[in-house]
């Protein structure tokens, strides 16, 4: 285990240098989206709701945090991988060094996880200010961590598979953007028709949303969702690992 951590840190070193020097812009850019949703949906739509604005704000904060684990990681990681692969060719250097594929995969997720956790922490701080009743536990951070890891791994997958920048944009608008809205982030999935519900439950973002909401609103933990996040995480890791190991990108 220590060896994989050591190697992953070595892989991430260059990205971390960039992150350290550009932290404010990197963080602001990934906060804008979730905060806009919080204000627009929370105060805009929430004010017209029966449950009242406070109830909807309480509902939407966990959704926005879950959304941030996706928006702060996926596009950042996938475009970084694609650029390093196609335009800088610095991904080649990574393939040239005596580091195992598993460490390359994990190392490349590190800035994503960092970005995910930082932006969630900031949204959480704002959330606690505007809705003091919500719960913050260590398990919440574990969920944010796993979710950020999962979507960073998905970002690596997309970056490795994309042959040009355009395909990444298409994937983003066809899969990622709908996912941010439909996966229970801003509305309750149990209210949608059954057929659509199944589709929504097949998407990876639904599960961290459900789990994070349960923790923050002090509801029973949906262990099935927690397991589903882990399954997606392992699935994406294995796919990334195989692609890098087989050098088929």
Partner 1 sequence: MGTIIKAEGLKKSFDGFEAVKGIDMEVEAGEIFGFLGPNGAGKTTSIRMLTTMVRPTSGKIIINGFSLDKDLTEAKASIGVCQQHISLDKDITVRQNIKHHAILHKMPAKEIGPRMGELSELMGLGPHMDKKVTELSGGWKRKTSIVCSIMHRPKILFLDEPTAGLDTKSRHMLWDMIRELNRSGTTIFLTTHYIEEAEDLCGRVAILNQGTIVALGSPKELCDSIGYITVEYSGDDGKKSMRQFPDRQSGKEFMAKLKEDTAMSLRKTTLEDVFLIATGEEYSEGGV
Burial environment of residue 188 by CB neighbours within 10 A (0 to 12, 13 to 18, 19 or more): exposed
Interaction between residue 191 and partner 1 (CB under 8 A): no
Long-range CB contacts for residues 175-180, cutoff 8 Å, separation at least 24: 176/70, 176/74, 176/75, 179/70, 179/203, 179/204, 179/205, 180/67, 180/70, 180/71, 180/205
Q: Which DSSP symbol is given to 220?
A: P
Identify residues 58-87 at the interface with partner 1 (CB under 8 A): 84, 87
Q: Supply the minimum distance, in Å, between the C-beta of residue 154 and partner 1.
A: 22
Identify residues 100-129 at the interface with partner 1 (CB under 8 A): 100
Interaction between residue 27 and partner 1 (CB under 8 A): no
Interaction between residue 198 and partner 1 (CB under 8 A): no
Q: Which of 1, 50, 96, 220 binds partner 1 (CB under 8 A)?
A: 96
Judged by CB, which is closer to partner 1: 89, or 227?
A: 89
Q: Which of 27, 35, 94, 122 binds partner 1 (CB under 8 A)?
A: 94
Interaction between residue 18 and partner 1 (CB under 8 A): yes
116 to 77, 89, 95, 119: CA distances (angstroms): 11, 26, 26, 5
Interaction between residue 25 and partner 1 (CB under 8 A): no
Tell me the number of residues near partner 1 by CB under 8 A.
23
Q: Please name the residues in contact with 54: beta carbons below 8 A apart, sequence gap of 6 or more.
A: 131
Interaction between residue 17 and partner 1 (CB under 8 A): yes
Judged by CB, which is closer to partner 1: 11, or 124?
A: 11
Interaction between residue 242 and partner 1 (CB under 8 A): no
Helix (H) / strand (E) containing 186: none
Interaction between residue 195 and partner 1 (CB under 8 A): no
Give CA–CA dist 34/55, Å, rounded. Answer: 18
Interaction between residue 89 and partner 1 (CB under 8 A): yes
Q: Please name the residues in contact with 214: beta carbons below 8 A apart, sequence gap of 6 or more.
A: 220, 221, 222
Interaction between residue 23 and partner 1 (CB under 8 A): no
Give CA–CA dist 71/63, Å, rounded. Answer: 12
Q: Please name the residues in contact with 192: beta carbons below 8 A apart, sequence gap of 6 or more.
A: 200
Interaction between residue 24 and partner 1 (CB under 8 A): no
Q: Supply the minimum distance, in Å, between the C-beta of residue 173 and partner 1.
A: 25
Residues lying near partner 1 in the complex (CB under 8 A):
10-11, 13-14, 17-18, 84, 87-90, 92-100, 246-248
């Amino acid at each position: 285990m220590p060896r994989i951590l050591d190697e992953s840190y070595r892989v991430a070193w260059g990205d971390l240098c960039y992150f350290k020097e550009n932290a404010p812009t990197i963080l602001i850019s990934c906060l804008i989206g979730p905060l806009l949703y919080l204000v627009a949906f929370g105060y805009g739509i929430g004010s017209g709701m029966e449950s009242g604005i406070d109830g909807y704000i309480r509902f939407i904060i966990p959704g926005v945090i879950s959304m941030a684990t996706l928006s702060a990681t996926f596009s950042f990681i996938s475009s970084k991988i694609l650029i390093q692969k196609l335009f800088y060719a610095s991904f080649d250097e990574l393939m040239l060094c005596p580091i195992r594929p598993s460490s390359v995969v994990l190392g490349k997720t590190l800035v994503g996880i960092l970005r995910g956790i930082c932006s969630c922490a900031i949204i959480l701080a704002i959330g606690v200010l505007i809705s003091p009743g919500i719960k913050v536990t260590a398990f919440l951070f574990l969920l944010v961590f796993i979710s950020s890891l999962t979507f960073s791994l998905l970002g690596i997958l997309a970056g490795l598979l994309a042959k040009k920048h355009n395909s990444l944009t298409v994937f983003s608008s066809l899969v990622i953007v709908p996912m941010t809205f439909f996966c229970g982030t801003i509305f309750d999935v149990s209210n949608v028709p059954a057929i659509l519900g199944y589709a929504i439950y097949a998407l990876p973002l639904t599960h961290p949303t459900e789990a994070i909401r349960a923790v923050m609103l002090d509801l029973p933990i949906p262990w099935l969702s927690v397991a589903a996040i882990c399954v997606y995480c392992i699935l994406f890791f294995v796919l990334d690992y195989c692609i890098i190991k087989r050098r088929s990108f």
